[in-house]
Amino acid sequence: MSILRLVGVSRGVGDFVILDHVDAAIAAGDRIGLVGPNGAGKTTLLRLVSGLDEPDRGEVVRKRGLTIAMLPQEAHVDSSFIEAPSLRLAVRAGAGRLEELERTLRRLEHDGLVTEPEYETAQHEFAVRDGYALDQRVEAALSGLGFGRDQWDRPPVDMSGGEQTRAALARLLLADPELLLLDEPTNHLDLGALEWLEEALGRRHGSLIVASHDRAFLDATVIRVWEMRDRRLTPFRGSYSAYARQREERDLRAAQEAEDRAGQIAREQALIQLYRHQRKHAKMHEHEARLEALQPMEKRRSEAKLRLPTEALAGGAPARSYESVVRAEELVVGYGVREARDAVRPVPVARVPWLELRRGDRVGIVGPNGAGKTTLLRTIAGELHPLDGALEIGRNVQLSYLAQVRDAPIPGATVLDAVLDELPLSPGEARSHLARFLFRGDDVEKEVTALSGGERSRLELALLFLLPANLLLLDEPTNHLDIPAREALEAFMAGTDATLLIVSHDRRLLETVCDSLWVVDGGLAVPFEGGYRAWRAAVADGWTVEAAAQREAGRLHGGRAPEPDVRKPEGAVGRPSRKAGARSGRGAAPSIVPCSSQEPGLAGAVPRPLVPKLSKDAYRRRKVQIDEELTRLSGRKLQLESALQDPGVHGNFVELRRVTGELATVNEALAATEEAWLELEEAAP
């Protein structure tokens, strides 16, 4: 039985049509996932269902007495929520009917009317609604959504926007409406909270519509999918994975039909020319009418796909880094707080006993919100000084850093200006680069300050790929991206030769891209050899960060983990931060912080054999040869890279192929010579 129906619903803004004649129905107990590219109309549809907006045409038919509650992307909580004396009471108020019954029961008990029918009726309803476990449910929701006990008595007005959104979600779950509408509910949740929410929604008996780009979340929570595409709604049965298979099959059929139609168009055009030449105008007009019916519709903007470049816009492919890309030992990451008289008090966030990132690794950084994931990544990127310990960035590392907090101003008034301010390019080159990131035509003239979350994320990615990098530091790279853009980004990550270090709560990305993890929790950061699923299985079997850190300490320090000294305002071992204007280190040569003189080994590592020492004369002769070869190859590489910027080379396919082929050969020879230089240094007398 339907509890809500959409009948011929249309909605637009001015002349722009968002929804066009949408028909759909929601049954009791339905769990529906709403998917589609950014701007397809998902939020508009949810607002129509909730009654916040009315359709321009058509109608929304709701069951009499239907209770509906909606969580928007950015929660605009009401005054009663904000003015609540504590977070616990603000969330508890979501169960308004239970609180009303509770007051009624107390009043009747106070008046000695417990034998009256009113008391019996209220008590029965209170028990059926699980009112006796209300406080336990409130505490479970707060804990599950990441609120510590020390936050339960804080007033909501003192909390951040993300915390208020999570609290509003907890209140909606306590309200338990017949139809729950969630618009991107996973935006402010860490992995633990995501898993808890999936279980909570699975236990609900009411209906659910959730708009989300989190594919793993959709797979775990929905049994049907509504796809918003080209102003229309198409229903699919099954989870998101089932929908993706059905959509791929439909797209293949559509592509085949388009190819067949292109052949028919070509035949009709040929017949029109033939009959025009023969002056058979009746036949010619007949085939012109057929051609007009066959003309394909203009390809819609929503069908355009994000295309990440395999090489940077300037400089081509990055250099080959040495084997060890990032290495940290007894590193303490955090930040400094300025106090009176400009004194800086260090605030340690996490300690890293030992971590190493090697060339070609794809590592995900995971952990609860506030554990220090972003702080660790910013320290590696050079935005924060280490408070203590050793951090080493390997030779030939060219890093690019994509920040999570993207409210910092981007240079340039428009999208095109932002690219031109980063790199001296012609407008045509900048427009071609931006087109890969779906900024086309007048889109490049949009003001940066007016961009949506998804558009800003795409612009940040466009800036990230301006200069070559062999180490990508990505903090929540899929934030605000729709599913097609996420899949394009994952495909790039799976195929790139760059070393990847990724902070993410996107479980599909972690499982698809990352071979291993760094887990940050409880003030510690430790490695985990395995992907996301293996880590969750290990946690279920009792794996903890503390136990892993103790095992690592046993290997490195004979069973005792040294206490970091963070009394100094700045760590004695630190790296000078690089200029922020370089977009957090993109393309810059990173500084190096040397580790301790004794290099710690990883568990199970095979000791390297001792290299025989050379005589002084042999070492000197060999060093001169290698230095000369390095100089020659480096000079030739610069010449070839300059040739690639020559329009004459770009216009000559044969010459372009020769230059790019020789450049690849020179890069390989340069890498081999650099390795030989390292081996020579180990054999130095």
Q: What residues pair up with 235 in beta bridges, in sequence order?
A: 226
Place of tokens 């899949």: 487
Q: What is the per-residue pLDDT for 589?
A: 38
Q: Which of 347, 484, 380 is nearest to 35 (CA)?
A: 484
Sheet arrangement for strand 224-229 = 68-71, 179-183, 207-211, 31-35, 224-229, 232-237
Q: What is the per-residue pLDDT for 380?
A: 95
Distances (CA, A) of 99 to 91, 114, 219, 288: 12, 18, 34, 72
Decide if pLDDT at 598 tops 60: no
Q: What is the pLDDT of residues 435-446, one digit of tens each?
A: 888 888 888 888
CA 501/CA 380 separation, integer angstroms: 10
- pLDDT tier for residue 286 given thresholds of 50, 70 and 90: confident
Q: Two tokens at 135?
A: 């406080």
Decide if pLDDT at 595 tops 60: no
Q: What residues pair up with 50 in beta bridges, in sequence order?
A: none
* Mode of pairing for the β-strands spanning 399-402 and 471-475: parallel
3-class DSSP assignment, residue 527: strand
- pLDDT tier for residue 584 given thresholds of 50, 70 and 90: very low
Q: Which of 310, 309, 226, 302 is nearest to 482 (CA)?
A: 302
Decide if pLDDT at 569 tops 60: no
- Name the most confidently modeled range: 80-94, 569-583, 643-657: 80-94
Helix (H) or strand (E) holding 464: helix 453-464
- For 315-382, give the DSSP string: TBSPPPPPSEEEEEEEEEEEEEEE-GGG-EEEEEEEEEEEEEEETT-EEEEE--TTSSHHHHHHHHHT
In angstroms, how far is the first alpha carbon of the chain from the final one? 86
CA 566/CA 386 separation, integer angstroms: 10
CA angle 127/128/134 to nearest 5° reads 60
Q: What is the pLDDT of residues 34-76, one digit of tens each?
A: 998 887 889 899 999 999 999 999 999 999 999 999 988 765 6
Q: What residues pair up with 34 in beta bridges, in sequence order?
A: 211, 226
Contact 482, 38 (CB under 8 A): yes
CA 387/CA 352 separation, integer angstroms: 11
CA 392/CA 495 separation, integer angstroms: 26
Q: Two tokens at 165?
A: 């959104």
Q: What CATH number should be reported for the domain whose range is 324-407+465-582?
A: 3.40.50.300
Q: Two tokens at 496?
A: 């790139």
Question: How many residues make up the chain in this entry?
Answer: 685
Contact 95, 175 (CB under 8 A): yes
Q: What residues pair up with 519 in beta bridges, in sequence order?
A: 366, 526
Q: What residues pair up with 7 in beta bridges, in sequence order?
A: 59
Burial of 417 (0-12, 13-18, 19+ CB in 10 A): middle
R_g over Cα of the chain = 31
CA 115/CA 109 separation, integer angstroms: 9
- State which amino acid sits at residue 374: T
Q: What is the per-residue pLDDT for 604?
A: 36
Q: Which of 46, 50, 51, 56 is nearest to 10 (CA)?
A: 56
Does residue 662 or residue 302 have the better pLDDT?
662
Q: What is the pLDDT of residues 195-227, one digit of tens each?
A: 999 999 999 899 999 999 999 999 999 999 999
Q: What is the pLDDT of residues 120-135, one digit of tens each?
A: 999 999 898 888 889 9
CA angle 24/27/33 to nearest 5° reads 65
Cα torsion through 197, 201, 203, 206, rounded to 10: 160
Q: Two tokens at 211?
A: 């708009």
Helix (H) or strand (E) holding 34: strand 31-35
Q: What is the pLDDT of residues 444-502, one digit of tens each?
A: 888 887 777 778 888 888 888 888 888 999 999 988 888 888 888 888 888 888 999 99
Q: What CATH number should be reported for the domain whose range is 2-100+127-245?
A: 3.40.50.300
Q: What is the per-residue pLDDT for 355?
A: 93
Beta strands in 139-198 (DSSP E): 179-183
CB atoms within 10 A of CB 314: 19
Helix (H) or strand (E) holding 491: helix 483-495
Give the single-character DSSP code of 41. S
- pLDDT tier for residue 1 given thresholds of 50, 70 and 90: confident
Helix segments in 66-160, DSSP class H:
79-82, 87-92, 96-110, 117-128, 134-144
118 phi, psi to nearest 5 deg: -60, -40
CA 444/CA 452 separation, integer angstroms: 14
CA 564/CA 351 separation, integer angstroms: 8
Contact 581, 557 (CB under 8 A): no
Q: What is the per-residue pLDDT for 304?
A: 61
Contact 4, 49 (CB under 8 A): yes
Q: What residues pair up with 354 in beta bridges, in sequence order?
A: 329
CA 646/CA 21 separation, integer angstroms: 53
Chain-centre distance for alpha carbon 435:
21
Burial code (b: 16+ CB inside 10 Å, e: under 16) for 567-605 equals: eebebebbbebbeeeebbbbbbebeebebeeeebeeeee
Q: Two tokens at 244?
A: 């993706």
CA 382/CA 667 separation, integer angstroms: 27
pTM value?
A: 0.70
- pLDDT tier for residue 528 given thresholds of 50, 70 and 90: very high
Does residue 499 or residue 271 have the better pLDDT?
499
CA 225/CA 53 separation, integer angstroms: 22
Chain-centre distance for alpha carbon 162:
16
CB atoms within 10 A of CB 389: 26
Q: Give the max Cα distance, the chain.
A: 107
How many CA atoms, within 13 angstroms, populate the side-chain half-sphere of residue 560? 3
Decide if pLDDT at 574 tops 90: no
